[in-house]
Amino acid sequence: MVVELISVGTELLLGNIINTNAAYLAEQCASLGLSCYYQSVVGDNAGRLGEQLQTALSRADVVILSGGLGPTQDDLTKEVAAKVIGKQLYLDENTIDRIQRYFETRGIEATENNWKQAMIPEDARVIDNDNGTAPGVIMEENGKTVILLPGPPGELVPMFEKDIRPYLAGRTNEVIYSQTVKICGVGESRVEDAIQDMIAGQSNPSIAPYAKTGEVHLRVTARAENEKGARKLVKPVIKELKARFGNDIYTTEEDTTLEKAVADLLIANDLTVSVAESCTGGMLSARLINVPGISEVYKSGYVTYSNKAKRRLIGVKKSTLDKYGAVSENVAREMAKGTAVLSKADVAVSITGIAGPDGGSEEKPVGLVYVGCFVCGTVTVRRFQFQGNRTKVRESAVSAALTLMRNCILEYYSQVTFGKK
Amino acid sequence: MVVELISVGTELLLGNIINTNAAYLAEQCASLGLSCYYQSVVGDNAGRLGEQLQTALSRADVVILSGGLGPTQDDLTKEVAAKVIGKQLYLDENTIDRIQRYFETRGIEATENNWKQAMIPEDARVIDNDNGTAPGVIMEENGKTVILLPGPPGELVPMFEKDIRPYLAGRTNEVIYSQTVKICGVGESRVEDAIQDMIAGQSNPSIAPYAKTGEVHLRVTARAENEKGARKLVKPVIKELKARFGNDIYTTEEDTTLEKAVADLLIANDLTVSVAESCTGGMLSARLINVPGISEVYKSGYVTYSNKAKRRLIGVKKSTLDKYGAVSENVAREMAKGTAVLSKADVAVSITGIAGPDGGSEEKPVGLVYVGCFVCGTVTVRRFQFQGNRTKVRESAVSAALTLMRNCILEYYSQVTFGKK
């Protein structure tokens, strides 16, 4: 079954608000096994909205419109949809009562234009709105279905959960199941190369790569009659991806971020951690502390942007700074070591680099970053050359640091067979 | 001039990501005085993308496509657009060099599929990508314009700012001039109340409020034949807004962020600064260090998430922690004072709070945050109760801290008439 989404609202065309409804509805429809090939946004304009709805009906079985059900003059989704389907509007008693109650319980007077919201297309199914005055509407006509939903997410989402999702589920005979494999420290095109053959031959399940700073996510999606069947199709593909990317996969859990994977690794091994940052100025600590429960292992963080702070707070030697410069392997090493020793942490990570726009040189260009990682006595330092603006360089450095922490800890335990230290 | 937006990507149709690019581009186009009647989303499918582009070209002068310029097989926006316009693709030497350099500076080997990104439609204008490997493309044919932009916001936004916006601005016969008044520490509804009358009567110039965490931006936009005329229309409105919001306006400069306004204030008054953070875990330092040149005044940052770190690093008394708890006015005060004294900074700011989801109580609910600010001997502490999830609470705390720093410094200098200290 094919579904198409139409979001109605001039505020969307003006970019005043972000279209979160479309993302929500799209994800819901995908999880129901519905195919969606088009989404569109039109303003509160009868002519263009009517055309768009006709086009959508010509290529989809179900069209879901959101927005434009408000009480004001320029809310005309219901009127336009009724016209396209060829239905009259009538005043729905039940909806009048609900609107009446809605205002009474809030001690407000309903205004005249509120009754516009009680106008319903004939033969339509009315979906009560528990969080507002605009009811939803389901219209079925010559094998096509048009669903109207209120625009505010606080009304649309609960209405979809309670009534629309079950309605659509009852009309499909397919289920979609997805699982994501999250890879860190490997470039997008390199990941692509490694799975060319798998992507080439893919149909069901399908593999879709998504790149984010320092990470690549591979989403494996399968359709089947039931979830059990879909999971069965996904499983061998995940297994193959694990075989190909091994340790570079930090999770296959939907809600696990890279910082959470690292935090879990620290907590599981009862390793305390401290952080020293120069150019990233606290971004790495901030990401680790995104993770609820990190307080168990997080000891202290130092933002040592100046040479003086590097010396005073975490004991980097003046001679090292003078000889090699603040952005150097040696300083990254002393930062990590000093931080570990001073804060008595099992793991300490350091970042020093040139984020730009200024401060670059021939031999040390903008984007040069050294990341150091101390794990139970051993310090590893990696050199990176990142591209992009100041923000991009700093975000890349943080991802690289999280990846290095993870690798060093895994490395350490692959050698230590008799538990911690 | 009419523009239409097409976002390309199956991940959008599946609802895996929210379409922030469309909102950004729509807002930019509106600010340029371009009319936009349709936005659409299509997957990485040659047939449907081609149809959608043809439809868009039939009703718009300029079509902006974003996404589908990656190195992978399913990235085919460029190929489809070239076909629709009737152009061949050729291998662009300059782009090859750029991609080569991009990988060389990272010490990585470019893979075969990367060269796909150097294929450019003949007669097209290539827009260099400073933050990735996929160049942008501008094609002009029979009075129509097709613009291709990379999908990642970190690449699309800077490219639009640097090259596409000026290009579009040069194509409209009327000039749009905007100036933004940026307000901190005042709620959105209070700001809107204060300018109801101005918004009600507005046409040219128009006033559009945009709320972001802890800030409200008022964008004043005027159209005229030339920039001089537009500026003349905007000027009195800015003057009136300044009269109404006074010191709560931290800038009217487009590229000045709240952290830059605070940094400028510190640098201008030759005030050094240090930071101590608990629940925000480095986010405040990270934002200050967003500002190039902050190194002049930034001394040191401490991430003291645990009570132990609060005591050991910045000298908070055990008795204070025991008596009042880590999230209290007294601890915020001692954190700020201790940080200032230890790091010999003129200004020190502290944040301690409950970001959630756990750790809240009847008397200290999730979202409770204390911010302390030391300025040349005086400590001010403010109590905040923020709403929202962990991230939202932490971001709100950082904005509140920047606003408090700014107010305390301004306050200090309004009293001290004889220069610094």
For the stretch A179-189, pLDDT in tens is 999 999 998 88
CB < 8 Å to A193, chain B: 111-113
Q: What residues 156-175 of chain A have any CB closer than 8 A to a CB of chain B?
A: none
**Contact B306/A at CB under 8 A:** yes
List Cβ<8 Å contacts ≥24 apart for B109-117. B110/A189, B111/A189, B111/A190, B111/A192, B111/A193, B111/B71, B112/A193, B113/A189, B113/A192, B113/A193, B113/B71, B113/B72, B113/B73, B114/A189, B114/B71, B115/B91, B116/B71, B116/B75, B117/B69, B117/B70, B117/B71
Is A308 in Cβ contact with B303 (below 8 Å)?
no
For residues A130 and A26, which has the higher predicted lDDT (pLDDT)? A26
Q: Residue B421: pLDDT band by 50, 70, 90 thresholds?
A: very low
Whether ipTM exceeds 0.85: no
For B317-321, what is the mean pLDDT? 98
Flag if B38 and A37 touch (Cβ within 8 Å). no
Question: A281 contacts in B (CB within 8 Å)?
Answer: 282, 285-286, 288-290, 301
Mean predicted lDDT score pLDDT of chain B: 92
| Secondary structure letter of residue A33 according to DSSP | T
Nearest to A385 among B30, B106, B210 (CB): B106
List the Cα angle B83/B15/B84 in 5-degree steps.
Answer: 10
Q: Do B19 and A22 touch (CB under 8 A)?
A: yes
Residue B1 has which token pair? 């001039």
CA distance B236 to A263: 54
Q: What is the largest CA-CA distance in chain B?
A: 78
Contact status of B113 with chain A (Cβ, < 8 Å)? yes
Asked whether the beta carbons of residue A282 and residue B284 sit closer than 8 angstroms, the reply is yes
The count of residues in chain A is: 421
Q: Which helix (H) or strand (E) holds A342?
A: helix A329-343
Identify which of B42, B130, B282 has the shortest CB distance to residue A301. Answer: B282
Is the Cβ of B25 closer than 8 Å to some Cβ of chain A? yes
Give the residue-averaged pLDDT of B338-345. Answer: 97
Cβ atoms of B47 and B15 within 8 Å: the answer is no
**Alpha-carbon span A65 to A40, nearest angstrom:** 10
Tell me what the mean pLDDT of segment B36-65 comes to: 96
pLDDT of residue A416: 66
Contacts 24+ apart (CB under 8 A), A156-161: A156/A21, A156/A24, A156/A25, A156/A66, A157/A24, A158/A130, A158/A131, A159/A127, A159/A129, A159/A130, A159/A131, A160/A24, A160/A25, A160/A28
Closest-CA distance, A1 to chain B, in angstroms, reads 15
How far does Cα A344 stand from its chain's mean position? 35
Residues B196, B200, B203, B209, CA torsion sign: positive
**Predicted confidence band of residue B402 (pLDDT cuts 50, 70, 90):** very high
Residue type at B257? T
Contact call for residues B26 and A13 (beta carbons, < 8 A): yes
pLDDT band, very low/low/confident/very high, at B414 (cuts 50, 70, 90): confident
pLDDT at A110 over 80: no
pLDDT on residue A379: 97
Q: How confident is the model at residue B129 (pLDDT cuts 50, 70, 90)?
A: very high
The whole-angstrom separation of Cα A86 and Cα B243 is: 55
CB-based contact (8 Å) between B108 and chain A? Answer: yes
> Residue range B240-253: average pLDDT?
96
Give how far B129 is from chain A: nearest CA, Å: 9
- Whether residues A19 and B15 touch (CB distance < 8 A) is answered with no
Residue A30: pLDDT band by 50, 70, 90 thresholds? confident
Taking only residues 130 to 149 of chain A, the set having a beta carbon closer than 8 angstroms to any beta carbon of chain B reads none
Domains of chain B as residue ranges with CATH: 2-169 (3.40.980.10), 175-251 (3.30.70.2860), 258-417 (3.90.950.20)
* Pair of tokens at residue A22: 């479309």
Mark yes or no for CB contact B303/A302 under 8 Å: yes
Cβ neighbours for A128, distance < 8 A, ≥ 6 positions apart: A95, A98, A135, A136, A163
| C-alpha–C-alpha distance, residues A84 and A53, integer Å | 8
Contact A15 B38 (CB under 8 A): no
pTM of whole model > 0.90? no
Judged by a CB distance cut-off of 8 A, whether residue B233 touches chain A is no
A358-372: per-residue pLDDT in tens? 889 999 999 999 999
> Is A311 within 8 Å of chain B by CB?
no
pLDDT value at position B165? 93
Distance from CA of A132 to the nearest CA of B (A): 21
Average of pLDDT values for B134-156? 95
Of B117, B183, B180, the C-alpha closest to B150 is B117
Q: Taking each helix axis from N to C terminus, what angle separates A46-59 and A77-85, rounded to the nearest 10 degrees?
A: 50
- What letter represents residue A134's amino acid? A
pLDDT for the residue numbered A74: 77
Please name the member of A36, A343, A390 whose beta carbon is closest to the beta carbon of B292.
Answer: A390
Interface test with B, best of A4, A287, A288, A303 (most B CBs within 10 A): A303
Nearest to A20 among B11, B18, B25 (CB): B18
User: Residue B340 corresponds to which amino acid?
Assistant: A
Output the average pLDDT for chain A.
92
Question: Is A200 close to B73, i.e. CB distance below 8 A?
Answer: yes
**The two three-digit tokens of residue A12, written as one number:** 């969307």
Confidence of residue A291 (pLDDT cuts 50, 70, 90): very high
Q: Would an 8 Å CB–CB cutoff place A322 in contact with chain B? A: no
Tokens of B54: 């043809």
Which of B31, B266, B285, B342 best tests the A interface by mutation, with the highest count of A CBs <10 A?
B285
Query: B414 vs chain A: nearest CA distance in angstroms?
Result: 30
% of chain A with per-residue pLDDT over 70: 99
3-class SS of residue A72: coil
**Do B178 and B31 touch, CB atoms closer than 8 A?**
yes
pLDDT of residue A420: 43
**Distance from the B58 Cα atom to the nearest Cα atom in chain A, whole angstroms:** 14
Backbone angles phi, psi at A7, to 5 degrees: -100, 130
Beta-bridge mates of residue B66: B7, B149
Contacts 24+ apart (CB under 8 A), A97-101: A98/A128, A98/A129, A98/A133, A98/A135, A99/A133
CA distances from B145 to A394, B164, B173 (A): 36, 12, 16
Q: How far is A395 from chain B (nearest CA, A)?
A: 11
Query: Do A310 and A320 form a contact (C-beta atoms < 8 A)?
Result: no
The answer to whether residue A418 scores a pLDDT higher than 60 is no
**Is-contact A89 A79, C-beta < 8 A?**
yes
Q: How far is CA A103 from CA A100, A150, B59, B120, in A?
A: 6, 18, 43, 60
Which comes out higher in pLDDT, residue A199 or A399? Answer: A399
Q: Distance between the two ends of chain A, CA-based, in angstroms?
A: 57
pLDDT of residue B212: 81
The answer to whether B304 faces chain A, any CB pair under 8 Å, is yes
Contact B277, B244 (CB under 8 A): no
What pLDDT shows up at residue B417?
Answer: 54
C-alpha separations of A55 from A52, A81, B81, B383 in Å: 5, 13, 22, 55
CB contacts, 8 Å: B115 with chain A: none
3-state secondary structure chain B: CEEEEEEECHHHHCCCCCCHHHHHHHHHHHHCCCEEEEEEEECCCHHHHHHHHHHHHHHCCEEEEECCCCCCCCCCHHHHHHHHHCCCEEECHHHHHHHHHHHHCCCCCCCHHHHHHHEEECCCEEECCCCCCCCEEEEEECCEEEEEECCCHHHHHHHHHHHHHHHHHCCCCCEEEEEEEEEECCCHHHHHHHCHHHHHCCCCCEEEEEEECCEEEEEEEEEECCHHHHHHHHHHHHHHHHHHHHHHEEECCCCCCHHHHHHHHHHHCCCCEEEEECCCCCHHHHHHCCCCCHHHCEEEEEECCCHHHHHHHHCCCHHHHHHHCCCCHHHHHHHHHHHHHHHCCCEEEEEEECCCCCCCCCCCCCCEEEEEEEECCEEEEEEEECCCCHHHHHHHHHHHHHHHHHHHHHHHHHHCCCCCC
Residue of A nearest to B358 (CA): A292
Q: Can you tell me which residue has the tokens 């997008």?
A: A188
Prior bond to B292 cis, omega within 30? no
Residues of chain A neighbouring B303 (CB-CB closer than 8 A): 275, 282, 285, 289, 298, 300-303
Contacts of B242 (CB under 8 A, 6+ apart): B181, B249, B252
CB contact under 8 A, B14 and A27: yes
User: B residues 354-373 near A, CB within 8 Å?
Assistant: 356-358
Instruction: Quote the pLDDT of residue B416.
Output: 66
